[in-house]
Amino acid sequence: MLKKPLSKFLAFIIILCLSSTGLKAQVILSLIFGDKLNSNELLFGIHVNGSLNYFSNSEGRKPLPSLNAGLFFTYRFNDHLHANIEMLAKYTRGAKELPVYSLNDPAIDSQFTGGSVTRKNQYLSLPLSVRWLTTGGFFFEIGPQISLRTGAEDIFIKDIEEGELDLKVENKDVMNRWDFGWMAGMGYMFGKTKLLAIGLRYNGGFSDVSKIDEGNQTNQQWGIYCNIPIGRGKMKKKQEAKAKAAAEKNQ
């Protein structure tokens, strides 16, 4: 009974590995293989979320807005218990209006005295959750989140008479490569077949973001997301065609 769903799950993992090069690759692969990764138990498609990000224990921080996207895969154990996994190829976290620090260049340091720093860290992220779905379509979810940092930059900003002065500084060497955290949230599955999901999540961190900043600064995030199925219509047509062929064969 589990052989076919498991083979589809392995195919999905292969797609995740191939699509780690970027969001465009993920979208293309999802459009090509979407119907093959769908069944009565499996749900596959595109995940999109808008979030506000900040760090714990960080002086003067303000939330950094970001738009994140990737793929999702949901396995239905029954009408109430679901497992959900997402692969986010476009995932930015960070904070705004952090204190400026020295760049060991007196001329540059003097230019940005009184300014602020916007920190943007890019990740490949894998949120995993278990969902409990009510009869009315509402659900609650909780689970771990593992992220691999792929990029990091600090943007020094200062308002001057001529406009805004900014300087981008790559800082991958001082940001930790791996980020471990957790997430919890609630949402709603639309329609009679409960396919389209929207939800609200809080993502908390366990690990320190920076190698050099004092204190334990962890990623924090509030986000609103939508999981959009792909390939369900084509999958249904294939199932109907197979059922029709089998019926004709038995006549």
The residue among 240 and 41 whose pLDDT is bigger is 41
240 pLDDT above the threshold of 90: no
* Average model confidence (pLDDT) across the chain: 82
Work out the average pLDDT over 8-20: 53
Domain limits at 161? 3-250
pLDDT of residue 57: 82
Work out the average pLDDT over 148-155: 94
Alpha-carbon distance 122 to 2, whole Å? 36
The residue among 22 and 122 whose pLDDT is bigger is 122
Give me the number of domains the chain comprises: 1
What would the DSSP string read from start to end of the chain?
--HHHHHHHHHHHHHHHHGGG-HHHHHHHHHHHTGGG--SSEEEEEEEEEEEEEETT-TT-BPEEEEEEEEEEEEESSSSEEEEEEEEEEEEEEEEEEPP---S-HHHHHHTTT-EEEEEEEEEEEEEEEEEE-TTSEEEEEEEEEEEEEEEEEEEEEEETTEEEEEEEE-GGGB-SEEEEEEEEEEEEETTTT-EEEEEEEEEE-S-SBSSSSS---EEEEEEEEEEE-SHHHHHHHHHHHHHHHHHHH-
pLDDT of residue 231: 64
Which residues pair with residue 37 across a beta bridge? none
pLDDT of residue 132: 96
For 115-126, how does the pLDDT look when each residue is reduced to its tens digit (9 = 90+)?
999 999 999 999
- Label residue 14 by pLDDT band (50, 70, 90): low
Contacts of 240 (CB under 8 A, 6+ apart): none
- Label residue 1 by pLDDT band (50, 70, 90): very low
Work out the average pLDDT over 209-228: 91
Instruction: Specify burial of residue 161 (Cβ count, 10 A radius: 0-12, 13-18, 19+).
Output: exposed
32 pLDDT above the threshold of 50: no
Read off the CATH number of the domain in which 240 is found.
2.40.160.20
